[in-house]
Chain A
Amino acid sequence: MAEPLSHRPEHGAHASHVPRYLAVWIALLVFTFGTWGISRFHLPGVAGVAVALAIAIAKGALVALFFMHLYDQPGPNRLVFATSLVFVALLISLTLLDYATRFPLTNPPGSQGAIPASDYAPAPNDTTR
């Protein structure tokens, strides 16, 4: 009765995942040192964030596809994970767009473009905070 399982690609007796796992692990180590090394140059503006995020996405894709076997999962499992990623993109991008397009003075004092915070530190005798 266990016959159908043996036909599953991830349970094939002859298909060894070990070389693939090793390759992914080494790639993850290289990427980790890579992103750390690049960060030491302090790339200007958004370039630093973009490069770091690109490397993180590459590493995440390696983990999700090969360690988590998303590449040989049936459709619904992939769809569930892909849907969560769509909402990640929506939540972060729309929230940031909101703040990025606001009239600066509506942002908290001391932040980019807003009025400076005159005295952010609480006074020594201020017991209301």
Chain B
Amino acid sequence: MPAETTYLAHHFASLEKQTYAARLGMWLFLATEVLLFTALFAGYGVYRFLFREAFAESSRHLQTWIGLVNTLILVTSSFTVAMGVDRAGKGDGKGAWRFFLVSFLFGAAFMVFKAIEYTHHFHVGELPGRFYTNEEVQLVGAPIFMALYFLITGLHGIHVLVGMTVLLVIGLRARAGAYAAEYSVPVELAGLYWHLVDLIWIFVFPLIYLV
């Protein structure tokens, strides 16, 4: 069946225009996502400037290896998503599904490490505000660091969960043959979302864990 009759919505003149509009819409959405996280990063910047010692000390008490492993996991998952989108662009829905499933599992591994990390924070009392009971770091500003830590990594974690869902749903649709070489833009946009989640973590890792 020609791609035009299968995939083209009636309010678009051609499939090419539809694809163009879909991509532009996704990029607009991604821009708002970037700004959402920027607000948190700006807050981080301000309090890091005000409480330099507390932020450095609190950061040193995080488990850097978990941050490192999670960065490697996300970067690799981004690669497998790119490969999946590439397969879908060639009309190989099953290949796209396999790559998206691997990426989904990487996302799950990321969340498992996140859970280990959060459990540790709860046990040693590295919590925001008045719930902060950690004896090792008793500096003004340490509870603020933990508040920003949970806001930034928590919001990012929610994005990972959403991204995993998107990968799973679109991957299953691709496996069922819903897309073709002429039209794989949903797979592409799902990939874009996952890359953005990776992109944000690329900045979270050095800012929260390293410096």
Contact = CB atoms under 8 A, between A and B. Distances in A.
Interface of A: 1-2, 4-6, 8, 10-11, 13, 16-18, 21-22, 24-25, 28-29, 32, 35-36, 39, 48-49, 52-53, 55-56, 59-60, 63-64, 66-68, 73-74, 76-77, 80-81, 83-85, 87-88, 91-92, 95-96, 99-100, 107-112, 114, 117, 120, 122, 129
A5 B192 CA distance: 20
A6 B199 CA distance: 30
A92 B42 contact: yes
A28 B75 contact: yes
Contact of B206 (A52, A64, A66): A52
Nearest to A114: B50
B202 interface: yes
Contacts of B42: 91-92, 95-96
A87 B35 contact: yes
Contacts of A5: 3, 15-16, 19, 182
A25 B130 CA distance: 42
Contacts of B3: 1-2, 5
Interface string B18-36: 0110011001101110110
Which of A8, A91, A122 has the most chain B CB atoms closer than 10 A to its own CB? A91
Interface of B: 2-4, 14-16, 19-20, 23-24, 27-28, 30-32, 34-35, 38-39, 41-42, 45-46, 49-52, 64, 68, 71-72, 75-76, 78-79, 81-83, 86, 89-90, 130, 140-141, 181-182, 191-192, 195-196, 198-199, 202-203, 205-207, 210-211
A39 B75 contact: no
Given A4-B14, A53-B206, A83-B31, A111 B141 contact: yes
8 contacts: A22-B79, A28-B75, A32-B68, A52-B207, A56-B207, A81-B30, A108-B50, A112-B50
A111 B48 CA distance: 10
Nearest to A6: B182
Contacts, number: 167
B16 A74 contact: no
A73 to B, nearest CB: 7
A49 to B, nearest CB: 5
Contact of A68 (B20, B24, B195): B195
Nearest to B37: A88
Given A35-B210, A56-B203, A85-B34, A80 B24 contact: yes
A12 to B, nearest CB: 10
A9 B64 CA distance: 41
Contacts of B211: 39, 48-49, 52
Nearest to A20: B82
Which of A11, A67, A108 has the most chain B CB atoms closer than 10 A to its own CB? A67
A68 B76 CA distance: 14
Contacts of B32: 84
Contacts of B202: 56, 59-60, 63
